[in-house]
Structure 1
Amino acid sequence: MCALQSVRAQREYFVSTLAGGTAEKYESLLDYLLSWDILNWEEYEHVTVLGQPLAKLVRELLDIIACKGEKGCGLFLKALHKIDEEPHDEGLQKQTPKEFSESKYLQSERPRVIRIIHQHIDDILHFLLEKDYVSKFEVDMIKLPVFSPAQKARRLLDLLRVKGNDSARCLLAFIQQLEQGIPQVPYACLRYQKKLKTTISAQSQFLSTYDGTENICLENIYTNSILEISKSTKMSDNIQDSQNPLDLTDIFNADGLINKNADTVLILGDAGSGKSTLLQKIHHLWAEGNAFHKFAFIFPFSCRRLGCVVKPVSLMSLLFEYCCWPDQLQEEIFQFILANPNQVLLTFDGFDEFKFAFTDDKKHCSPTDLNSIDSIVFNLLQGNLMKDSIKVLTSRPDAVTAIMRTYIQKEIHLKGFSEEGIELFMKKHHTNPDTSRTIIDCVKANSSLHGLCHIPVFCWIVSKCHEELIRSSCSHLQTITDTYVLALQHFLRHASPTENITENVLEKKKPSINHLGKLALNGLCHGLYVFSHDQVVEAQLNKEDLSLGFLVPSKNFSTHGTLSSQHYEFLHITFQCLFAALYIAMSDDVEVCSLKYLFRWSRIPKQNSSSGILSFMCAQPFLQKANKKIFKRIKVQNLQITANFVSGLFSERLYNLLVKSWQSQKLSRKQDTIKKCLSKAIHKHFKSIPPAVQGEIKSMHAMPEFIWLIKCINEMQNVQLSRKAVKNLNVDHLKLTYCRIGPAECTALANVLKHLKNPTGLQLDDNSIGDIGLEQLIPCLHICKALYLRNNSITDKGICKLLDQALHWENFQKIALFNNQLTDECMDSFAQLLRHKQNFLALRLGNNFITGVGAQRLAEGLRENQSIQYLGLWGNKVGDVGSQAIAEALQHNRSLIWLSLEENQLNDDDVTLLAEALKKNSSLKVLKLSNNLIGKNGVSALTNTLQHNATVKSIWLKGTNLTPEEMQIYTVSDHRLLLQ
């Protein structure tokens, strides 16, 4: 029966079916007929007259359809079938097809559009009303309670048809936001969202320089830093793709989750690594509507400011009073926030500067009840408040306790700038290409300074003081303290521009430095980083002291109002530590005997309480009565920075400057004491090394505090002290894994470890060394017999520099570089190493990006080397070409005993070539070929080879394409085939 006959024959059935229930089925049918152009608008209006009986409208529709002929009736039957199906919508196209106008496209997608928008009709109407595409009267008519949500959606589409393409385009944009998961804020909250975005945009639009002297547009100056998922949370062989680094949006994806039930993302970075700027970038992107659309609201908080909150607060007052206050409907907005926590992001910047120790003892679940600020913050982080909202927390690593980590969903490390990032930063800060090029060349010419500049705050100092650097060619800058003292002198001269450039500004500004130093030290002792106007006055700081630019108005407090309401902070926490160190060095009030507390090896940090805030400025009695204990009260991370600066100030060059500037009676004794303390602390650590287990080499697994002591020793730039530090270090293997070692730490390690007497293995896995750090290590690697650099973001550029030098290192015999960013480009250098070093024993290059081309180059060196015993190339893409080259090299090599080619896309033909090579090789004992594309033919070839080779002890073949029966047969045939 044809379609036309079917429509006529089943007329009464169609009437009873379509008119027997609600109008929804009938109207859904009309949606399809209208979208397929079976009905024109005049016909559609004729069969949708309000108030007419539904049966009458269905009969009139059937009359119209019967006049459409066979095609029209066929599509009518198809539409009937469609409305009974479960819809499987894929969403609308991102762009309107060229052959359609926006209005026509809405009509062609009418059924799908109605299914998408009917649940959001109120929000859409308010949105269109705000945009002036519909009137208040039209909205009221559509929202009449007699209409269902789907009917309201149809009436809206009918209305927009006559409004033109602009209104249709606006609706399509709204639908796109729905499909992208962008939260739709109720009309009552839209005004608040707009105000919040405006506020955050204004706050984040400009990047204030550390000295507060200029505001630079964030978009023009922001430079991406390296982000890494915490290495401790990654499986050893399942790392993020090093060639696709993380960006800001990856902070919120599902990669690297530690605890799926938690909702706090932790961003860790050392002081000056750019944590605050990163959050500012996130805030600005959201406020401008350029990213992070899934968040309806973002609430940014500074832990410095929250630490100053004394009165009890509730969750509601925290969000509104300390971020952005709604002009109206506060309760309604707050209820939406509570009901939709997954649409809310809260950021807490600088948790290491929050003066309260994290605890999960006190539970607080009420969003409206008052409590202390620390209780509200801690319960937010735990999820007792606003569960399922995302919290982003920035901190220095040492401030995060084991208890707190149990509430962390994801941990990300901010590593500072790459080498390219350093150059980009300089170019953005200096638009004159000649100036930026000169600064970059100057930095690269000084390897120590280059190592420091991966930290953004050092880049800023170098950029700020570029004239002094260029004048001196950077030659005198070797340490962190050197760099900060340069900044100190720059600011002091800037405050007195008429002074002679050769004049000793430290001597002239001694009173100001003393005042600032006393304030800085007492602030550290009491966990204070923001100072009220009264506290500044009590510390005897005057206008001249403030004019130097080191103590600036706090960005976290309003600058409006009276002078007495003003708050101040140091440019950066590192500058507060610098001035504390200057006070320790210059003031005779600080006893010599108290310095030993700066370098305590084992010490449990005591959390600062708020009890001393109001009266902390009793500085003189404080220093006199509790001199020996003052350093015990400083947070560990701040004390370590301060100790680094104190050590650096007593380096020979800066010590002479201090003597000329301040003539302190105790300077000489302090210098001697610091040397003794550092020497004693490092030797105490060495003595704690347990004796070697019988049959094993003696090794030492150093802790992060060891790296800190090494940095202090390096800051002193004293060769005798460096020699003395490692004089009694008698180990065969020094393990420094997971010690947060970056380029700056590499510089310090190299300057100390180069004085080792005996060849030592150096294990630096899972750090952040990179190419810059690798270059810093070169001065000490001549004494290194084995070097382990797994998971360190090393590229071809860095490793090639090292290998060029390694050709001349007699002791150098082993290197492990798996899980880095090596490609074929560096394989010539490895081949050169194998050709020239006939005492080289082990090369491990697993999980890199080496293809057959690189394997060919490496095989050329392997062919000519007769000492290497271990070669690891697992997890690369060696393939056919590479395996063939390695097979040929095996026929000539007589030293290799262990070879790994697992996960390299090898097939049966590749394995057959390797099997043939083994017939001519008499040294290889272990061959690892698991997780390739090996089938029966490849395993058969290996089985045949084993009948003629007694040297091979095992061939690893897990993850083959064999059936269980075949695996059993081959396992029985030769026990050396490890198939399971």
Structure 2
Amino acid sequence: MEKQGHSEAGIISSESHSHVKLLKIHRELLVTHIRNTQCLVDNLLKNDYFSSEDAEIVGACPTQPDKVRKILDLAQSKGEEVSEFLLYVLQQLADAYVDLRPWLSETGFSPSELIQSKVVVNTDPVSRYTEKLRQQLTRDSKFVLCYAQKEELLLEETYSDTIVELVGFSNESLGPLESLSCLLDHRTGVLSEQGETIFICGDAGVGKSMLLQRLQSLWAAGRLDTEFKFFFHFRCRMFSCFKEGDTLCLRDLLFKHYCYPEQDPEEVFAFLLRFPQTALFTFDGLDELHSDFDLSSALDTCSPWEPAHPLVLLTNLLSGKLLKGAGKLLTARTGVEIPRQLLRKKVLLRGFSPSHLRAYTKRMFPERAVQERLLAQLEANPNLCSLCAVPLFCWIIFRCFQHFHSVWEGSAQLPDCTVTLTDVFLLVTEVHLNRTQPTSLVQRNTRGQTETFHAGRGTLHSLGQVAHGGMEKSLFVFRQEEVQAAGMQEGELQLGFLRAVPEQGLGGDQQSYEFFHITLQAFFTAFFLVVDDKVGTGQLLRFFQEWAPAGGAGAESCYPPCLPFPCLKGGGLAGKDPFKNKDHFQFTNLFLCGLLSKAKQKLLRHLVPAAALRRKRKALWAHLFASLQAHLQNLPRVKSGAFNQVQAMPTFVWMLRCIYETQSEKVGQLAAKGICANYLKLTFCNVCSADCSALSFVLHHLRKRLALDLDNNNLNDYGVQELQPCFSRLTVIRLSVNQITDSGVKVLYEELTKYKILTFLGLYNNQITDVGARYIARILDECKGLTHLKLGENKITSEGGKCLAVAVKNSKSIFEIGMWGNRIGDEGAKAFAEALRNHPSLTNLSLAFNGISREGGKSLAQALEQNTSLRIFWLTKNELDDEVAESLAEMLKVNQTLKHLWLIQNQITAKGIAQLADALQRNTGIMEICLNGNLIKPEEAKVFEDEKRIICF
């Protein structure tokens, strides 16, 4: 019946154009689906179609359906124009009257020019709430909230892009994220269609919060290419403010603890429940969530109206049991993992590349002269550049430079020696403490770091007390009474170390505070443990104890209970508190090593008695030695050919960081002595460029030669520079998937050709162009023992391919070349063909996915007629056709030494395959020709079933 009514409506609209009749015929349909009567009344009033008396008559109706009927009655009584305008409002405010969209489309309603000239105002509660959310997020995202309190830094002027990468379940790279809109695009990077959560991970300070703030800003300005009408942002640490007995329903969590609708909250919430796909949730810092609430004892809730503990609401939102279909973005530090069934997409933030760092420098320092001075200082200090790869540390270093630039009238100098993370945080502490000094145009503040720290001892102790108290409980938000109990004064709160918590209403009317970043809280915790006289050695090592494994089989169970690092199994959600991450303890331990290093004694002797300092240093070193020795002895080992391979984990990287922070050659020598294996594997350990400083600090003490595998990390060119001290020991270097460019390859050339001991060079999936290819060709020329070269998935074209081919031709040692996924084309293929002729050693060659077509393919086939060394040849995903297949068939009649030929995903038809099959009658050496994905149908492939060496499907 309804379809018939729709059809009649179309006839009425197109023939008689009676809008009064249209409203009359579909009266009950409109009564059923119009829920928002106020919006209609507002527009009818604004355009003088309704009088105030009409509005009062509608308002006096007891129920919503009665109000709709009264509006329809009044509109029809007033004639065609008013009825047409009512339909126009329904059409224009599609979101307010979403259920009427299909009906309006079927009627073919088209308003007249007169009606189109009328103003339609959107007073729909949902639209008003969307606008309120935009206003709130515009305000909240305008300034950078992450780093500072005293200055108001505009996000638009501060935010800079970083390396953002789509990754798989095991953090394998799936390619870069092209834009923030692609983050929410369901067409790219989806790991599971059933998953609800987009997971963003990265190290502390790498820019996760800034990325979410940028998303908020774009959505609020209408510049985010999405259909989301709602944007709810929560920081996970706020859930720690709720007590075990606290309960909320979903409606109160969204409205009372985020943003309350000014009009008809029930209608807004009903819309949200009905269309959850219109909402986007962001949850920042899962690793910073800590609660005594036991999730295992709580029942899941699928009801949006049923009160539950806020943590239960959070877990059910992430899993999709609440608001299934809503967009959900979750951030956490590297090492935290969420169950695969929750995961829709996974994104890894890697910080600044060298090009990003240069762009950020220009953004922070608009004056060209200042830019050049700063960049010159950075380029002269790769160690400092490595630290600057982490946006937070970069911001700190730049702010310090900015401070000294203003104080010393443009003659600011960054440290020109080895800089540790402790040095960086001591520097920013000095800068912030100097804010208490009076400024004068005549006289500058010239006091040194020691004097500054001595003068600010009380402030530092109070900050340390607050930080330490929170760190012991893994809490990062402090109530006002906790801050006051530590003796913090109002002026000290304005220094910029602490900032007011953005969320209101969580702890009553009292103001709450937090450190501007978790790493700063870790620094002040370590500072408190060092300078407080009452802290004994047991309390000093308290956070090392936190990293002791809980027990279990294998090497982990052999670790001493005081081991300061996590177990080797990697991050996982387990135990009573599934969200807890312990990086804050790692940073505290790292800063302890830095503050108790010999270099910092001059600074600290004015803050802590010498005897206490000696006692604490002795306890820390003894503990570090014992832990290091136990760790190295129990790393898992594998025998691989001539190599005794040790499989290190992220744990080992943190140990190296602590060792480097001590700047003690004795500790470095001890660590090197403990590495008994000759193959150190550190793949997927999230090693960044700054960690290469720590790695070199240990490895340069080795007496023996070593194979080093750093594939799938985040070294970039600065990391390669930091590895320079240990290149004299490395025979195998694997640096694949590490954001390395031609600049890094140049460093490799300059260093590796000094020692000429290289046998294996892996640079797969980096950003190497023809410029870098020339350097690699020279490495191949000069390192006469190089046997394996992996260069796939770079940006090498025919020019670079020709250079490499010439070097391969001249090499008497090269065994394997991997060039998959470059763009050498036919010209590059011809050059490799020349290299193949009579080559004495090349056994494995991949030229897959290189844009090679007929001409290049035929050249390669002809060259192989004069080759007896090659055993495996990959030509997958090129543009080879039947003519190339014919040339390869001729080659196979001559070449009896080639064993494996891969021609997968080319353009060969049954005709070409028939020629290859025929050639096999005269070839006993070839074991397989893989032809999957070519232009052959299953019925055509049946002809070759008897030839088992031909693989078509």
- Residue from 908, 929, 949 that aligns with 1:978: 929
CA apart distance, 1:593: 4.1
Question: Cα deviations across residues 116-138 of structure 1 (Å, max 9, x unaligned)?
Answer: xxx99999996994997896665
* 2:199 paired with 1:266: yes
Query: In the alignment, which residue of structure 2 is the partner of 1:348?
Result: 283
* 2:306 paired with 1:369: yes
Residues 885 and 915 in structure 2, CA contact (< 8 A), matched pair in contact too = no
Residues 771 and 797 in structure 1, CA contact (< 8 A), matched pair in contact too = yes
Query: In the alignment, which residue of structure 2 is the partner of 1:482?
Result: 423
Query: In the alignment, which residue of structure 1 is the partner of 2:845?
Result: 899
- Looking at structure 2, the residues matched to 743 and 189 of structure 1 have their Cα atoms a distance apart, in angstroms, of 48
Residue type of the partner of 1:590? V
CA apart distance, 1:869: 1.5
Query: In the alignment, which residue of structure 1 is the partner of 2:384?
Result: 449
Question: Cα deviations across residues 273-327 of structure 1 (Å, max 9, x unaligned)?
Answer: 1211111111111111111431010111122223213331110000001111112
Residue type of the partner of 2:305? T
- CA gap of 1:248–1:662, structure 2 versus 1, over 3 A, is farther
* 2:899 paired with 1:953: yes
- Residue from 193, 208, 230 that aligns with 1:297: 230
- CA gap of 1:775–1:358, structure 2 versus 1, over 3 A, is farther
Count the aligned residue pairs. Answer: 838
- Looking at structure 2, the residues matched to 771 and 282 of structure 1 have their Cα atoms a distance apart, in angstroms, of 29
Residues 206 and 216 in structure 1, CA contact (< 8 A), matched pair in contact too = yes
CA apart distance, 1:524: 0.8
Query: In the alignment, which residue of structure 2 is the partner of 1:764?
Result: 710
- Residue from 748, 773, 779 that aligns with 1:833: 779
- CA gap of 1:254–1:675, structure 2 versus 1, over 3 A, is farther
Query: In the alignment, which residue of structure 1 is the partner of 2:366?
Result: 431
Query: In the alignment, which residue of structure 2 is the partner of 1:257?
Result: 190
- Looking at structure 1, the residues matched to 431 and 5 of structure 2 have their Cα atoms a distance apart, in angstroms, of 88
- Looking at structure 1, the residues matched to 868 and 39 of structure 2 have their Cα atoms a distance apart, in angstroms, of 81
Residue type of the partner of 1:295? F
- Looking at structure 2, the residues matched to 754 and 292 of structure 1 have their Cα atoms a distance apart, in angstroms, of 50
* 2:346 paired with 1:411: yes
- CA gap of 1:235–1:905, structure 2 versus 1, over 3 A, is farther
- CA gap of 1:276–1:235, structure 2 versus 1, over 3 A, is closer
Map residues 672-683 of structure 1 onto 2, 5 A cutoff: 672-683=618-629
Question: Cα deviations across residues 188-228 of structure 1 (Å, max 9, x unaligned)?
Answer: 31112111211121111222462311212222221112111
TM-score (norm 2): 0.81
- CA gap of 1:659–1:21, structure 2 versus 1, over 3 A, is closer
Map residues 509-520 of structure 1 onto 2, 5 A cutoff: 509-520=456-467
Question: Cα deviations across residues 502-536 of structure 1 (Å, max 9, x unaligned)?
Answer: 36121222222122112111101112211111111
Query: In the alignment, which residue of structure 2 is the partner of 1:420?
Result: 355
* 2:771 paired with 1:787: no
Map residues 816-831 of structure 1 onto 2, 5 A cutoff: 816-831=762-777
Q: Secondary structure at the match of 2:219?
A: helix
Residues 443 and 474 in structure 1, CA contact (< 8 A), matched pair in contact too = no
- Looking at structure 2, the residues matched to 266 and 50 of structure 1 have their Cα atoms a distance apart, in angstroms, of 51
Residue type of the partner of 2:241? C
CA apart distance, 1:574: 0.9
Consecutive unaligned residues in structure 1, runs of 5 or more: 1-18, 31-43, 54-118, 175-184, 607-626
CA apart distance, 1:603: 2.4
TM-score (norm 1): 0.79
Residues 685 and 713 in structure 2, CA contact (< 8 A), matched pair in contact too = yes
Residues 425 and 459 in structure 1, CA contact (< 8 A), matched pair in contact too = no
- Looking at structure 2, the residues matched to 203 and 869 of structure 1 have their Cα atoms a distance apart, in angstroms, of 59
Residue type of the partner of 1:683? Q
- Looking at structure 1, the residues matched to 232 and 709 of structure 2 have their Cα atoms a distance apart, in angstroms, of 43
Consecutive unaligned residues in structure 2, runs of 5 or more: 23-32, 51-74, 76-80, 92-99, 406-410, 440-444, 552-560, 567-576, 931-950
Q: Secondary structure at the match of 2:894?
A: coil
- CA gap of 1:722–1:259, structure 2 versus 1, over 3 A, is same
Q: Secondary structure at the match of 1:346?
A: strand
With 962-971 and 510-519 compared, the bigger mean Cα shift is at: 962-971
- CA gap of 1:758–1:377, structure 2 versus 1, over 3 A, is same
- Looking at structure 2, the residues matched to 308 and 971 of structure 1 have their Cα atoms a distance apart, in angstroms, of 74
Query: In the alignment, which residue of structure 1 is the partner of 2:375?
Result: 440
- CA gap of 1:358–1:845, structure 2 versus 1, over 3 A, is farther
Residues 734 and 762 in structure 1, CA contact (< 8 A), matched pair in contact too = yes
- Looking at structure 2, the residues matched to 433 and 605 of structure 1 have their Cα atoms a distance apart, in angstroms, of 55
Map residues 277-288 of structure 1 onto 2, 5 A cutoff: 277-288=210-221
* 2:458 paired with 1:521: no
Q: Secondary structure at the match of 2:351?
A: coil
Residues 761 and 787 in structure 1, CA contact (< 8 A), matched pair in contact too = yes
Map residues 812-961 of structure 1 onto 2, 5 A cutoff: 812-891=758-837, 893-960=839-906, 961=908
* 2:161 paired with 1:161: no
- Looking at structure 2, the residues matched to 936 and 722 of structure 1 have their Cα atoms a distance apart, in angstroms, of 61
CA apart distance, 1:465: 0.9
Query: In the alignment, which residue of structure 2 is the partner of 1:588?
Result: 533
- Looking at structure 1, the residues matched to 638 and 615 of structure 2 have their Cα atoms a distance apart, in angstroms, of 39
Residues 149 and 498 in structure 2, CA contact (< 8 A), matched pair in contact too = no
Query: In the alignment, which residue of structure 1 is the partner of 2:548?
Result: 603
Query: In the alignment, which residue of structure 2 is the partner of 1:190?
Result: 127
Residues 208 and 214 in structure 1, CA contact (< 8 A), matched pair in contact too = no
CA apart distance, 1:929: 2.1
CA apart distance, 1:153: 6.8
Residue type of the partner of 1:710? L
Query: In the alignment, which residue of structure 2 is the partner of 1:494?
Result: 435
Q: Secondary structure at the match of 2:329?
A: strand
- Looking at structure 1, the residues matched to 929 and 156 of structure 2 have their Cα atoms a distance apart, in angstroms, of 57
With 535-544 and 836-845 compared, the bigger mean Cα shift is at: 535-544
- Looking at structure 2, the residues matched to 776 and 510 of structure 1 have their Cα atoms a distance apart, in angstroms, of 35
* 2:482 paired with 1:535: yes
- Looking at structure 1, the residues matched to 8 and 780 of structure 2 have their Cα atoms a distance apart, in angstroms, of 82
Aligned-pair identity in percent equals 29
Residue type of the partner of 1:506? F
Residues 849 and 876 in structure 1, CA contact (< 8 A), matched pair in contact too = yes
Choose 1 or 2 for highest CA Rg: 1
Residue type of the partner of 1:363? D
Residues 121 and 149 in structure 1, CA contact (< 8 A), matched pair in contact too = no
CA apart distance, 1:558: 7.4
CA apart distance, 1:476: 4.2
Residue type of the partner of 2:317? L
Query: In the alignment, which residue of structure 2 is the partner of 1:753?
Result: 699
Query: In the alignment, which residue of structure 1 is the partner of 2:328?
Result: 391
Query: In the alignment, which residue of structure 1 is the partner of 2:316?
Result: 379
With 126-135 and 347-356 compared, the bigger mean Cα shift is at: 126-135
Q: Secondary structure at the match of 1:370?
A: coil
- Looking at structure 2, the residues matched to 411 and 50 of structure 1 have their Cα atoms a distance apart, in angstroms, of 52
Residues 817 and 844 in structure 2, CA contact (< 8 A), matched pair in contact too = yes
* 2:272 paired with 1:337: yes
Map residues 794-805 of structure 1 onto 2, 5 A cutoff: 794-805=740-751
- CA gap of 1:873–1:287, structure 2 versus 1, over 3 A, is same
Q: Secondary structure at the match of 1:413?
A: strand
Residues 905 and 933 in structure 1, CA contact (< 8 A), matched pair in contact too = yes
Residues 795 and 822 in structure 1, CA contact (< 8 A), matched pair in contact too = yes
- Looking at structure 1, the residues matched to 6 and 611 of structure 2 have their Cα atoms a distance apart, in angstroms, of 100
Residues 594 and 629 in structure 1, CA contact (< 8 A), matched pair in contact too = no
- Looking at structure 2, the residues matched to 871 and 949 of structure 1 have their Cα atoms a distance apart, in angstroms, of 20
* 2:465 paired with 1:508: no
Residue type of the partner of 2:232? F
- Looking at structure 2, the residues matched to 134 and 968 of structure 1 have their Cα atoms a distance apart, in angstroms, of 85
Query: In the alignment, which residue of structure 2 is the partner of 1:614?
Result: none
- Looking at structure 1, the residues matched to 156 and 621 of structure 2 have their Cα atoms a distance apart, in angstroms, of 46
Residue type of the partner of 2:253? L
CA apart distance, 1:647: 0.8
